[in-house]
Structure 1
Amino acid sequence: MRRMRFEVLGFLALLIWPAGFACAAETTVTVGRADADFTSIQAAVDRAAGGTTVVVRAGVYREHVRVDKPLTLRGEGAVVVDAGKNGSAIILAGSGIELSGFEVRNAGSSGTDAGLLVLGDGNTLSHIRATENHRGIVVSGGRENDISDSEASGNRNDGVALLGASATGVTRNTLSGNGRAGIWLEAIHADQSMLEAAENRIFDNSVRANKKFGIALNSGAVRNEIDGNRVEANGRQTSDAGILINCGPNGNLVRENVVSGNQKHGILIISGSFANRVLDNAVTGSATGIGIYDANTNEIAGNSVRGSADYGIRLDDMAPLMGKAANVPGMAGAFPVSAQNILHHNDLVDNRINAFDLSGKPWTPPGAEAMPPALLESMGNMLAPNRWDDGKEGNHYDDFDEEREGFIDRNEDGIGDAAHAIPGGAAVDNFPLKTVPTSD
């Protein structure tokens, strides 16, 4: 009889239970100093099941938080996680985590310590403030993470660092006043292999007043897209730049950025970096607008380069960046000149020297006397002058666009009838332009 009674009650419960309501554990927990489920963020994370939302109330949390399951962590009000100058404030070791509304600060300076360290894949970070760390936000080896609408400022090294990270989006962030770079990309070595910093998307960020570089692509940074950023007032030393491509990165696209007031170089490509494309950027107010030193097969096209104190576009060897070291015995001629680059449809205006190119001069590499003649000939062919036109149209130079300056255009098609020699070496622009056509 008792069993029948329970079965009847169960049946009646099914009839009156609200449609669509599921019996489930609470999916939101709170963290705070009073009237909350937990007083520690880590305790809440440890107890929460995957899919739970952890709401953290305003306050300073002096702890190290490690998240290794798919949770949503949301800060309400001024939520600070302070690492106490040791380790990382927050580590995302899992995948599918959503994190928003946190300030992370006082991380240590060992290894990949950061205000926020991301090790997993497919995590979403927004409205994060990272300050007073060695590095603000680091993604190490992860894939398909997204960092948006955040700030990384006043860190001792980099604001955001993508180390062996791939397919990461860095969008609409503010990166300012960091001790080295606003954004730093580089490969890392792991498990006896190299993880490239590849196919990342750096879009629509404000990158300002970082000590050395705004955005820096270093060894192993390949096929990344740097698009639509404002890169302003970065760098102080000779080899500093708003946007740097250094030590072998290839296949990167730098497009439609506003690069202004960077003290030394607006855009700098050096040390064997190749097959990068620098397109349609507005570069103003640097010592050198675009500098290419010991770098080959890059395309520089459609850029507006204005108001450079020294050079609009300069192609050279590494000596200008080496200072006194370039005069050390045995160093002369040690670096080849940039060659096999193509430059076209650039607009060069109000620069002290619009264009300079050292390519095409004879170069004898160190140890040439011991090299096979065939190798020397091959190296000589590689160092042919850079191309300053695409075969039909070249570039616009405001000091070579009038007849009194030597520009002749008998059929008035806007393309000069006579080549324009580029100062420095043997390069020429065969089809200089009266103006650069504006794109539709």
Structure 2
Amino acid sequence: MTKRLLAYLLCGAALLAGGLGAAAPASARHSVHLVHPGQSIQQAVDAAEPGDTVLVLPGTYRESVKVTTPGITLRGTGRETVIRPGTTAVTQPGTATRAVVSCAESGNGICVIGAKDRDVEDVTVADLTVTGFARSGVFAMASEGLTVRNVTSVKNGVWGIAVERSVHALIRHNTVRDNGDAGVFLANTIKAEEGAADTHGTLVERNRVEGNRIGVTVRRLRNLTVAANHLTGNCAGVFVVGDENKPKAGALSVRDNHVVRNNKSCPKTDRLPALQGSGIVLTGTEKVLVTGNDVRENAGASPLSGGIVLFKSFVGVTGDDNRISGNRLADNAPADLVNTDTGLHNTFEGNTCRASRPAGMC
């Protein structure tokens, strides 16, 4: 038994030794639901009440899990708790079946989903591995106060961790590797063209993001921070993307990230040209602060290649009032700083670099 697992069990005090039922209360109000290999995580989640913890023991669990109850924690015991796609749909009657099929049929591993008129609040997903799903490892929509922490999300078809139409999210200390599109994907809405949404302070912090098409994508959002992440081996490190809708994407910060050797080669898509060697890219944004980043050895021949790149949106929207300051850049190609935007009041100041396009920005 690992020390971490022992600590969890001691904190749970009188956990029931067998079965899936709720253990003795961890407090006067909150219970711990213990899941053994071979048991259903979804059943434990459906039995949990706000404030409860579903603790999943080491093992491989072949299912998708949908969380709609506010205030619950879904937690493994570390990377040895593994969730993979199931081979058959769950057959239990009632709402659990519909929830699992919905998440599984969408190709997601763990879904945190609110209602149309009310966000699901204060859900935590932590300390587990999600891998092999056709769409996303962890997918959240209509959530408030979501925390995704110490999750390893690898080799999923589209996104490692995706958060849509949500506020106050915290994405921290995760390992997100070798996913088909973005390692961490944040968006206002995927299915409609709308103006940028205010996330009310979402934070993407101290994640290790490797081998994805794009490390972190921020699409049509405002008021968030991408900070102190390690991004390497992706085709592009960080993308902040806006379009012609109002308000513009922006009023956010990308700071203190380590963005090195994002030189994987990715073919073009309907939205973007072929990608390689892009460190931090802003396109169609306003009032974005990019500061304190270490951006090195990102090299390629894509129109978006370079260390920190300002690029006019593919739908013709300029970037305005973006501030690129206090970054350390070296050995990026075609240049450390690249500005092909024609927007107004974009500033480059106090950066340590050798080459820029056009010249004179270093």
Q: Paired residue for 2:109?
A: 115
Q: Paired residue for 2:18?
A: 36
Q: SS of 1:339's equivalent? A: coil
Q: Paired residue for 1:340?
A: 345
Q: Determine if contact 2:66/2:103 at 8 Å carries over to the other structure.
A: no
Q: Paired residue for 1:390?
A: none
How far did residue 197 of structure 1 move? 6.0
Q: Determine if contact 1:265/1:290 at 8 Å carries over to the other structure.
A: yes
Q: Paired residue for 1:216?
A: 217
Q: Paired residue for 2:75?
A: 100
1:289 corresponds to 2:307: yes
Query: Aligned partners of 1:191, 1:338: CA distance in 2, in Å?
Result: 26
Query: Aligned partners of 2:144, 2:208: CA distance in 1, in Å?
Result: 23
1:170 corresponds to 2:168: no
Cα 1:51–1:112, aligned 2, differ >3 Å: closer, same or farther? farther
2:290 pairs, out of 265, 272, 278, with 278
Q: Determine if contact 1:181/1:216 at 8 Å carries over to the other structure.
A: yes
Q: Determine if contact 1:283/1:306 at 8 Å carries over to the other structure.
A: yes
How far did residue 201 of structure 1 move? 0.6
2:311 is matched by which residue type in structure 1? Y
2:182 is matched by which residue type in structure 1? A
Q: Paired residue for 1:58?
A: 37
For residues 260-309 of structure 1, what are the alpha-carbon distances to aligned partners after superposition, in whole Å with 9 as ceiling and x for unaligned?
00122100111x21111000100001121011012221000001111113
Gaps in structure 2 of 5+ consecutive residues: 1-11, 87-101, 114-119, 243-247, 264-276, 300-305, 313-318
For residues 365-397 of structure 1, what are the alpha-carbon distances to aligned partners after superposition, in whole Å with 9 as ceiling and x for unaligned?
xxxxxxxxxxxxxxxxxxxxxxxxxxxxxxxxx
How far did residue 315 of structure 1 move? 0.7
For residues 339-385 of structure 1, what are the alpha-carbon distances to aligned partners after superposition, in whole Å with 9 as ceiling and x for unaligned?
32011000013xxxx1113xxxxxxxxxxxxxxxxxxxxxxxxxxxx
Percent of matched pairs sharing the same residue:
19
Q: Paired residue for 1:402?
A: none
How far did residue 82 of structure 1 move? 1.8
Q: Determine if contact 1:63/1:81 at 8 Å carries over to the other structure.
A: no
Query: Aligned partners of 1:111, 1:76: CA distance in 2, in Å?
Result: 25
Q: SS of 2:250's equivalent? A: coil
Q: Determine if contact 1:293/1:338 at 8 Å carries over to the other structure.
A: no
Query: Aligned partners of 1:253, 1:131: CA distance in 2, in Å?
Result: 30
More strand by share: 2
1:82 pairs, out of 55, 62, 67, with 62
Gaps in structure 1 of 5+ consecutive residues: 1-25, 39-43, 84-88, 236-240, 318-336, 358-421, 423-427, 433-440
For residues 135-183 of structure 1, what are the alpha-carbon distances to aligned partners after superposition, in whole Å with 9 as ceiling and x for unaligned?
0111211111211111111100100011011111111110000000110
Cα 1:340–1:245, aligned 2, differ >3 Å: closer, same or farther? same
For residues 301-328 of structure 1, what are the alpha-carbon distances to aligned partners after superposition, in whole Å with 9 as ceiling and x for unaligned?
00111111311111114xxxxxxxxxxx
Q: Paired residue for 2:303?
A: none
2:67 is matched by which residue type in structure 1? L
Q: Determine if contact 1:311/1:355 at 8 Å carries over to the other structure.
A: yes
Q: Determine if contact 1:278/1:301 at 8 Å carries over to the other structure.
A: yes
- Equivalent positions of 1:382-393 (< 5 A) are none
Cα 1:192–1:251, aligned 2, differ >3 Å: closer, same or farther? closer
Q: SS of 2:280's equivalent? A: strand
Looking at CA atoms only, which structure, 1 or 2, has the larger radius of gyration?
Answer: 1
- Aligned pairs, how many? 288
Q: Paired residue for 1:202?
A: 204
For residues 43-96 of structure 1, what are the alpha-carbon distances to aligned partners after superposition, in whole Å with 9 as ceiling and x for unaligned?
x47xx9972211112346496775363221112222x3323xxxxx11110111
How far did residue 230 of structure 1 move? 0.2
- Equivalent positions of 1:240-259 (< 5 A) are 241-247=236-242, 248-259=248-259
How far did residue 193 of structure 1 move? 8.9
Q: Paired residue for 1:310?
A: 334
Task: Extract structure 1 runs of 4+ deviating beyond 4 A.
Answer: 26-30, 60-66, 107-113, 189-195
Cα 1:194–1:279, aligned 2, differ >3 Å: closer, same or farther? closer
Cα 1:137–1:339, aligned 2, differ >3 Å: closer, same or farther? same
1:289 is matched by which residue type in structure 2? G
Query: Aligned partners of 2:31, 2:233: CA distance in 1, in Å?
Result: 43
Query: Aligned partners of 1:141, 1:222: CA distance in 2, in Å?
Result: 16
Query: Aligned partners of 1:66, 1:56: CA distance in 2, in Å?
Result: 10
Q: Paired residue for 1:268?
A: 281
TM-score, normalised to structure 2, is 0.72
RMSD across aligned positions (CA): 3.0
Task: Out of 49-58 and 101-110, give the one that drifted further.
Answer: 101-110
